[in-house]
Amino acid sequence: MPDFYFGTAQHLIKYQKQDILKIAFSGQSNSRSPVRDFAVYTIFLNNGTRLSFTSILITPDQLRNKMTGVRIEEMHRFAWPAFKAL
């Protein structure tokens, strides 16, 4: 499995698989304005740190795809991600 990359082009952080304890997903779809759909991943690292990774998604279908387990690094192909520490 590849390493995970979180963040924007200006602020890219790399984590190896063994650093990640678990990843939780939440999302919202607004059918009237699909460009505003978003997904939020909360990443729990083995050292106790929690990170939030938010991406604005292009279509509701892409939001549903996130729920079926598409790898996080795939989000960079079609999303505008933002990164922040909780």
Number of domains, the chain? 1
SS3 35: helix
Looking at per-residue confidence, does 26 or 43 come out higher? 43
**DSSP-based three-state secondary structure for 47:** coil
Give the mean pLDDT of 18-24: 69
Cβ neighbourhood burial of 55 (10 Å; 0-12, 13-18, 19+): buried
Reported pTM? 0.40
Split at pLDDT 50, 70, 90, the class of 67 is: very low
Which among 85, 73, 79, 76 has a CA at the least distance from the CA of 36? 79
- Of the candidates 52, 64, 80, 77, which has an alpha carbon nearest to the alpha carbon of residue 27? 64
Name the residue range of residue 25's domain: 4-85
